[in-house]
Chains A and B, each alone.
Chain A
Amino acid sequence: MAPSSIGGPGGPVGVRHHIVTVTVENKAGVLARVAGLFSRRGFNIFSLAVAPTDDERFSRITIVVDVESAPLEQIIRQLDKLVNVVAISELAPEEATERELLLATVEAGPDERGQVIQLVGVFEGRIVDVGREAITIMLAGAPNKIDDFENLIRPFGIVELQRTGRVALPKLERRTTRLRTIAGGAGEDGAG
């Protein structure tokens, strides 16, 4: 993958990906600063999702990063230098509860419709729109489940497909690994 490229859904996301949750000030241009940093330093992004938090002053950016493109510690320390970045937490895949949303319009004429609907039922998705020759499906779930579903519906013919990129929270039974601890004595509180 080219440096700083954004991987497609279902890309080779695995042990080499980590989830970095970045709390940023809700100000104009902040996403560009974060994205620009990844581009400039040659860090790869698998997926990226942005949304406001419960505190309107801040937004949360969930980035799935390729830790083979650069050491995670370096990515986090560079992010921490951005003045608008307020907090960073890092989740290894096994420590995270991850979810992603998929919308897909699938070719499904009268003959195939039943099979598709059955598949949607198995995966606990929802039919959100129905046309004569196609239906639109929504499915939320763990990213690997979304991958499986996508592979199974692909043979029917995908008209359009959109995935949100994953969002994540730490699993409750484990502790969040935060920058303040993983960076040890060297990286506590970033100098700008």
Chain B
Amino acid sequence: MRLTGAQALIKSLEMQGVEVIFGLPGGAILPVYDPILDSTIRHILVRHEQGAGHMAEGYAHVTGRPGVAMVTSGPGATNIVTPLADAAMDSVPLVVVTGQVATTAIGTDAFQECPITGVTMDITKHNWLVTDARDIPRVVAEAFHVATTGRPGPVLIDVPKDVSNSQMDWYWPSSLDDLDLPGYRPRTEGDPSAIRAAAELILRAERPVIYAGGGILKARAADALREFAERTGVPVVTTLMARGAFPDSHPLCLGMPGMHGNYTAVTAMQHADLLVALGSRFDDRVTGKVSAFAPEAKVIHVDIDPAELGKVRRADVAIAGDCRIVIEEIVEALGTLGLESGGSAGSGTTAADRPDLAPWKAQLSEWQQRFPLTYRQEEGGALKPQLVVEALRDSTPDDTIVVAGVGQHQMWASQYWRFEHPYTWVNSGGAGTMGFAVPAAIGAKVGRPDKMVWAIDGDGCFQMTAQELVTASAERIPVKIAILNNAYLGMVRQWQELFYEERYSEVYLSPDLPDYVKWAEAMGCIGMRVETAEEVAPAIEKANSVDDRPVVIDFRTDAFEKVYPMVPSGASNDDIIVGPSEGEGGR
């Protein structure tokens, strides 16, 4: 069958099971947009290419399938650089197709030419410049394989216009042997001797903590984690990327650690004698000052990416492998050592000599009681953002997908939501991309139309990508956006208050400019404004009843509210500031 390169590209995406492409056409990608008309694949026309990238990310976060975006050359391609960097940091499988000027024009500074493979080399897992239409099916298959296996990540395929227009004989690589990836061999199973060493360390620990990261979700290991935690009785912290990987309501769940983690999660890690790091990477926002982090802890570190092992913190037992497989292998090894399902130990086994964890758990409970997350809503006072998050949490189904941007609102969402299911939390963790929430929420809703999707956004973030609500209205994607509008770039304002002597430099945004309700209505959404605590619940109820268009609620929240607890940047986690009452500006 003779096809053009463009037809082969779309057919290849169909062969990969792609159901939706987020994109925006332009000159160099024009040939590829023609066969889309005849394809079963849904195309969602975005208003800015960055939106396409974040939508594809949101889709990937909630479905586990790779998100696909397609844009043109030059500025189209550079506009999707931020989502690529975001996906690289958070290991999100993404396949981005960019148009390129004709091969004969490459290097001539042609109109809308940009060397996007060079630009994105360091922020993609891999990228390809296709120079022959005959390579297209193979490259597409390679791209999906690389994006979704091992440590997932974004890939980019750059397709020059003459390649799209030229003819090729259709084929489809029927197996991995047909791919040309001699240097790519992801490993999934752990080394057996390391597995046994890990199991033995776990059975010797008196103050163990499971440090669960986003790798749990990528490996679809939430069930394995739960079995592991319950069998061992080891408490679990879930990082920002792992919220939902372990139910917040579980008695062993300690919640989020890190710079804005709760006291117990942060302090448990500091006092632990064993950290079982599962798909987590000792990010600086978790460790604080590395040299003072968990000083007494031995470390078991499991990650699919061998380069993460020992990158930040030396591991006593380092295991390169898929989290789900390795956790199951460790559980099996624990069984061999006498630790039975349910946590009981066979007599005469290694597990029978295990230290009693009760004193450790008593200590954790005491911390939880002494240092809960707190805020105070004054009667008639300014609306507290935490109250809005709690109200949203309490009046939505518990499998609601929550999407956040980056900043204070993101931390409050992570702290005050109660995550009971994996893949219900979508946010930009490593890159910290403001403007992520609106497009990511749209992508999430496309991926899981059966679920309610709420974005909790800040006013600063919202202004960066709000135009994608036009896309949502046009495509009938009923997402709901809660803007925690404190009229500031709030997190920056918080740092200036605490660490720059309240010298507020370029952080004020105004609550009324823009008028978020009018803006929402102009974009085909329902817009509402909430100014008092009493109005919160009814507005959310009304938003929940809308299912045919997006809803935006402008919650006017207290501009002076800060995110606590807080570990100042570069400080030891021992120096956690629990709340505003502790010291002058917390220092």
Contacts and interface: CB of A to CB of B under 8 A. Distances in A.
B125 A188 contact: no
Residue from A36, A40, A81, A192 whose CB has the most chain B CB atoms within 10 Å: A192
B238 to A, nearest CB: 23
Interface of B: 117-118, 121-122, 125-126, 129, 146, 149-151, 153, 181-187, 190-191, 193-194, 304-307, 309-311, 315, 318-320
A85 B183 contact: yes
A192 B193 CA distance: 23
For chain A, the bracket of interface size reads 20 to 34
A184 B306 CA distance: 11
> Which DSSP category, helix, strand, loop or mixed, fits chain B's interface?
loop
B303 to A, nearest CB: 8
A189 interface: yes
Interface string A68-108: 00010110011011111111000000000000000000000
A190 interface: yes
A84 B307 contact: no
Interface of A: 24-25, 28-29, 32-33, 36-37, 40, 57, 71, 73-74, 77-78, 80-87, 183-192
A185 B185 contact: no
B184 A83 contact: yes
Task: Name the residue among B117, B118, B184, B186 with the largest chain A CB count within 10 angstroms.
Answer: B184
A86 to B, nearest CB: 4
Given A83-B126, A192-B146, A192-B149, A185 B121 contact: no
A32 to B, nearest CB: 7
Contact of A192 (B150, B309, B319): B150
Contacts of A84: 126, 183
B122 A192 contact: no
16 contacts: A29-B118, A29-B129, A32-B121, A33-B121, A36-B121, A36-B122, A57-B182, A71-B310, A74-B310, A77-B309, A80-B307, A83-B125, A85-B183, A186-B318, A190-B307, A191-B186
A184 B194 CA distance: 10
A192 B126 CA distance: 9
A186 B194 CA distance: 8
A185 B305 contact: no
A191 B151 contact: yes
A82 B125 CA distance: 8
A79 B179 CA distance: 21
B146 A83 contact: yes
Contacts of B117: 29
A37 B121 CA distance: 9
Contacts of A190: 185-187, 306-307
A185 B310 contact: no
Contacts of A74: 307, 310-311
Given A57-B182, A186-B318, 18 more contacts: A25-B182, A29-B117, A36-B122, A77-B307, A83-B126, A83-B181, A83-B183, A84-B126, A183-B306, A186-B194, A187-B320, A190-B306, A191-B150, A191-B187, A191-B320, A192-B146, A192-B153, A192-B184
Most B-side CB within 10 Å, residue of A37, A77, A86: A77
Contacts of A85: 183
B430 to A, nearest CB: 15
B306 A187 contact: yes
B120 to A, nearest CB: 11
A191 to B, nearest CB: 4
